[in-house]
Structure 1
Amino acid sequence: MHAKESKKPTLSFWQIWNMSFGFLGIQFGFALQGGFMSRIFQTLGADKDAIPLLWIAAPLTGLLVQPIVGYLSDRTWHSRFGRRRPFFLIGAVMSTIALFFAPYSSALWMAAGALWILDASINISMEPFRALVADKLPDSQRSYGFVVQTLIIGIGTWVASNLPWFMTQIGIPNTAEAGVVPDSVKFAFAVGAVVLFGSILYTILTTDEYPPEDLDAFKRENEESKGFINGLQEIFKNIAGMPPVMKQLGIVQFFSWFAFFTMWSFATPAITEHVFKATDTTSQVYNDAADSVGNYLGTYGLVSMFFALILAFVTSKVKINRKMVHMLSLIAGGVGFISIYFVQTPWMLHLCFALVGVAWASILSMPYAMLSSAVNPKQMGVYMGIFNMFIVIPQIVAALGGINFSYKLLFGEEVIYTMVLAGTSLIIAGLANLLITDRSATHDG
C-alpha cells in the first residue's frame, strides 16, 4: 500500500453511489450495444460468421483510446471540473449522439461505424470512472467502491437489456420490412441515450475531486512532460514497467473478455436458432425470440446486481480474499454458458444467465480492486487505461476469427457451440487466478 492512501477519508455509501452513478448510463450504452448490435447486423443482412468482424473497430479503438485518455486524465486538473470529470462530459456527449443514431443505420458499414463511434465514446468516460474510485477511496474501501459500481452496472444491464421487450409490450412494433431495424429497438436506444447523458451529468454535478497535494509541482511536471511524443513514450514506459500483478490479471482478463465478447456477438443467433428454431430475421417468431434474448441478458444484469449487493454488504463488514471470490465466480459463469447447450425449454435460460451474472459482477469489481492496490496512485488513470488492453486484445482476437476457428475446431459447426466456447474460456479464466500471489492485491487492506 502506498503511504498517501491512509490519508484519504472513508466515504459513505451515498457518496460512493453518487460518484459511481454515471456508470448507470455507461452500462445502458454497453448493454444496448452488447445485446442488440448483432440483431441490427443480422437485420441489415450480415451472415452469422461475419458478425464478429463487424465488431472489430470497437476494441481496436479501445486499444488506442484507453491508455491515452488515462494518461491525459492523470495530467488534467481544472479548478471547477477536476481531473476525471472533463472526460466524463466529453464521452457522455459523444456517446449520447452515437447511441441515438445507431439503430437508424441503413447499411452494414453504417452500423459498424456507429458501433465504432459508440464504443470509443463510452470508453472515454468509462476508465476515468474506474480511476475516480481509486482516487477517492482508501485501500480498505476499494473492493466496496468497485462493488457499488457493479451494483449500478447490474441495474443498468437489467433495465437496458429489457428495453426493446418493454417497448413491444406497450405497443411499439418489433418487426419491420427487410433491412429496417424495428421501431422497438429505435425507441430503446433513444431512451438509453437520455439515461446515459443524464446519469453521467448527475455524477459530474454531485461529486468533487481531490486536487493534487502540490498543485504547483503538478503543473511543473505536466509542463515538462507535455507533448504527443513525450506522452507516447510515457505510456510505453508504463506498459514495459507494469507490475507483476497486472500481468497475472491480464491472463485472467483475456479469457474472461473473450468469453463475454463471444456472448455479445453470438447470443442472439445462437439462442434464436438453437432454442427457438428461428432464423428468418423478418419473421415474428425471430423478433419475439430476439426480444426474449434481451430478457435473458437482463437476467445476468439483475443477478449481477444482487450478487454485487451481497458483496457490498460483505466487503463493508469484513475483509475478503479477492482472488478466491473471483475464481469461483468465473467458474460459475462458465458452467452457466455451457449449460445453454443443454436447455430444453426457454425458461431454463434464466438459470444459465443467472450464473453468468455472478461472473459478470466479479469481472466488474475484483480485478480493479486487485489492480488499484498494486499501482502508484499518481499513475492510476494511465494504468487503468493500459489495463483495458487486456480487455480489448481478446476481443480483437475473437473478432479476427478466434471465435469462428475455435468453436468449429473444438466442438462443431452449430452456432450454439459458441456458448460452449464462452463457458470453457471463462473456466480457464477462473483457474488463472491461481497465478496471482501478491497478498496486498488479493486481500483488502
Structure 2
Amino acid sequence: MATSAAPLPTRKPQMGWGQLANISFGFFGIQIGFVLQNSNMSRIFQTVGASLDDLPALWVAAPLTGLIVQPIIGHLSDKTWNRFGRRRPYFMTGAILAALSLLLMPLAPAFGAPLLFAAALLWVLDASLNISMEPFRAFVGDMLDKSQHATGYAVQTAFIGAGAVVAAIFPWLLEQFGVSNVAPAGEIPDTVRWSFWAGAAALFAAIGWTVVSTKEYSPEEMAAFEAEREVEASQSVRALAAKTYTSAAIWLIAGGAVILAVSPLGLEKEILLLGGLLVAYGLLSAIGISMAKQGKHANMLSSIVGDFSGMPDTMKKLAVVQFFSWSSLFIMWIYSGPIVSQYFFGSADPTTVAYNEGANWWNLIYTVQNAVAAVAALAVLPLLSKRIGKARTHMTCLLLGALGFLGYFFLRNPNLLIVCEVLKGIAWASILAMPYAILASSLPQAKLGIYMGLFNIFIVVPQLLVATVMGSVMNAFFPADPIWTMLFAAASWTVAALAMLRVSVPGETTNA
C-alpha cells in the first residue's frame, strides 16, 4: 500500500551557535580581503607611479563595482538552484577570483604598465568580493527562522569585526617579527606582499569552510517555509509596465543638471560622476519600462528596475537610515586620520613626526573600534534586540555612535578618543547587523537576494555623494578645519537614528 510523503515543515529549525558560526564564517575571509584592499591600495598605487591627485579616480572602482555587481548577483542567486546550492556557487566563484587577485596584486611592479595592472586588479578584486558578499547577506535570511535573524546577523558582524582586526594588524605583526616594511622605489614592501598572500589563503579557507559545512534548503523546503508570503516573480515587472516615462525623464534631467553645474559653480570634477550615475539610471529605467511594456517579463533589467521602483515599505524606510548611516562612515574613513594628527597631535604636515604619530594612533584606535564591534555584535545586539526590539536597538546604537563623533569635536586628549571609538564600534556593529535582520524578517524569501543587492545602493550612493560633494563643501566653508566634518558625521547618525522611529518590524513584540 502506497504511503504519502510526510509534509514538509513550515518553519525553519532553530540553529545552535556552532551552526550559526558555520553559516557566517566566510565573512571573516571576505572582510580580510576588504580591509587589505582599503588599507593598502593607495600605498600600492603610489608605489607603482600614481600621484596623490590620481587616487580618487583610481579608488572610485570600489563603490562603483558594488553598485553594479550586487543587484545583478542578487537577482541571479535568487534564481539559482543546482546540485551545489543556491548561494554557495557564488561564494566559491567570488572566493577563487578574489584569492587570485590578492595573490597577484603584490606582483604588479613586475608587469608592464604596473599602474594599469594594479587598477584593473582592484576592479576584479572588488567585484569578486561583492560576488561572495551579497549572497552571504541573503544566506543568513535563507537559513534562519525570523526569531534568529538578529542573532544570525550579529554573528556575521562578529566575524566581520574579527576579520577587520586580523587584516589591519597583520602587517604590523609581520614587521615586529623582522619582515621589512620598506622597499626600494617601485617595489612593494614585504609586509604588504605577505599580508596579501596570507589574506588570499585565509579568504579562500574561510569561505570554503562555510561551503562545506552548510547545506542549503531545497526549493521545495523554501516554498513550504514561505507559503504565506509567496510572491509572483513577474509582479514587479507588470507594475513597471504600468508606469509612465516621467520618472526616467526626471532622473535624466537631474543628472544633466548636475553635470552642467560643475563648471559654472566651480565644483570638484568628481561630481561629474554623480551626474553620470543619475543619467545612467534614467536611461536604464527607460529601457526597463519599455521592455516591460512590450511584455518582456523575463529579462534581468526590467526585473531589477521593477524591484527597485517597487521596494517594500520597510525597505524604503530603512534606505533613508542606511543613507545617513553610511554618509557618516565615509566621512570617518576620509577625514579621521588627518583630524587626529592636526587637532590631537598638533601637526597637519605629513612630513613631521607628530603627524605620523597621530596617523599611527588613529590606526590603533580604529582597530579598537572593529574589535568592539565584534564583541558588541555577540554580547550586546542579540540581548538588546530581544529586550527592546530590532528597530529601537539600532536607534540606540546610532545615537551612541553620534556621541562618539561629537567627542572628536569637543575633546583634545587623544587617550579619550578610545571612548569615542568604543561608542562608534557599538554603532558600527549595529549598522552591519540590525538593518539586515529587519529586512530579512520583512521580505519575501523568493526575492531576498535581489533586495539585499538593491539595498547596497543605499550604502554606495552616500559614499559617492560624500566623495564628490564633501570636498566642495569643505573647500568653500572650512578649507583648513576638517574637524567640522565630525559635526556633519554626528548630525548624520542622529538623523539616521531618528529615521528609525518610522521603521516597524512585522510581528515583533518587545518587553520595553
**TM-score, L = length of structure 1:** 0.86
Give the percent of matched residue pairs that are identical in Structure 1 and Structure 2.
Answer: 44
Greater Cα offset, 352-361 or 319-328 = 319-328
From 365, 373, 381, the counterpart of 2:441: 373
Aligned to 2:255: none
Greater Cα offset, 425-434 or 249-258 = 425-434
From 302, 313, 336, the counterpart of 1:233: 302
Q: Write out per-residue CA displacement over residues 101-144 of structure 1, whole angstroms, 9 at most, x where no aligned residue.
A: 33554565554433322221111001111111111111111111
1:5–1:231 CA distance, 2 compared to 1 (3 A): farther
From 9, 25, 44, the counterpart of 2:13: 9
1:57–1:86 CA distance, 2 compared to 1 (3 A): same
> How many Å separate the matches in 2 of 1:45 and 1:345?
37
Question: Deviation at 1:330?
Answer: 1.6
Q: Write out per-residue CA displacement over residues 132-191 of structure 1, whole angstroms, 9 at most, x where no aligned residue.
A: 111111111111111111111111112211112212211222234455443322222222
1:425–1:173 CA distance, 2 compared to 1 (3 A): farther
From 128, 146, 151, the counterpart of 1:121: 128
Q: Write out per-residue CA displacement over residues 267-290 of structure 1, whole angstroms, 9 at most, x where no aligned residue.
A: 444445554537547x88777765
Aligned to 2:248: none
Contact 1:337–1:422 under 8 Å retained in 2: yes
Q: What is the 5 A alignment of 1:38-437?
A: 38-41=42-45, 51-79=55-83, 81-106=84-109, 109-177=116-184, 180-213=187-220, 230-272=299-341, 274-276=343-345, 277=347, 279-280=349-350, 290-311=359-380, 314=383, 318-341=386-409, 344-399=412-467, 401-409=468-476, 411-436=478-503
Aligned to 1:37: 41
Amino acid at match of 1:311: V
SS in 2 for 1:440: coil
Q: Write out per-residue CA displacement over residues 397-434 of structure 1, whole angstroms, 9 at most, x where no aligned residue.
A: 223x1231234445443445444443333232222222
Amino acid at match of 1:440: P
Contact 1:374–1:441 under 8 Å retained in 2: no
1:182–1:288 CA distance, 2 compared to 1 (3 A): farther
> How many Å separate the matches in 2 of 1:228 and 1:263?
42
Q: Write out per-residue CA displacement over residues 288-313 of structure 1, whole angstroms, 9 at most, x where no aligned residue.
A: 76555432221111000111121365
Aligned to 2:263: none
SS in 2 for 1:7: coil
RMSD over aligned Cα atoms: 3.3
Larger Rg: 2
> How many Å separate the matches in 2 of 1:28 and 1:214?
34
> How many Å separate the matches in 1 of 2:136 and 2:182?
37
Contact 1:407–1:421 under 8 Å retained in 2: no
1:394–1:200 CA distance, 2 compared to 1 (3 A): same
Greater Cα offset, 332-341 or 189-198 = 332-341
Amino acid at match of 2:24: S
1:148–1:215 CA distance, 2 compared to 1 (3 A): closer
Question: Deviation at 1:260?
Answer: 1.8
1:253–1:33 CA distance, 2 compared to 1 (3 A): same
1:285–1:200 CA distance, 2 compared to 1 (3 A): farther
1:409–1:422 CA distance, 2 compared to 1 (3 A): farther
> How many Å separate the matches in 2 of 1:115 and 1:255?
27
Aligned residues: 432
For structure 2, the 5+ residue unaligned runs are: 1-7, 224-231, 238-295
From 25, 29, 34, the counterpart of 2:29: 25
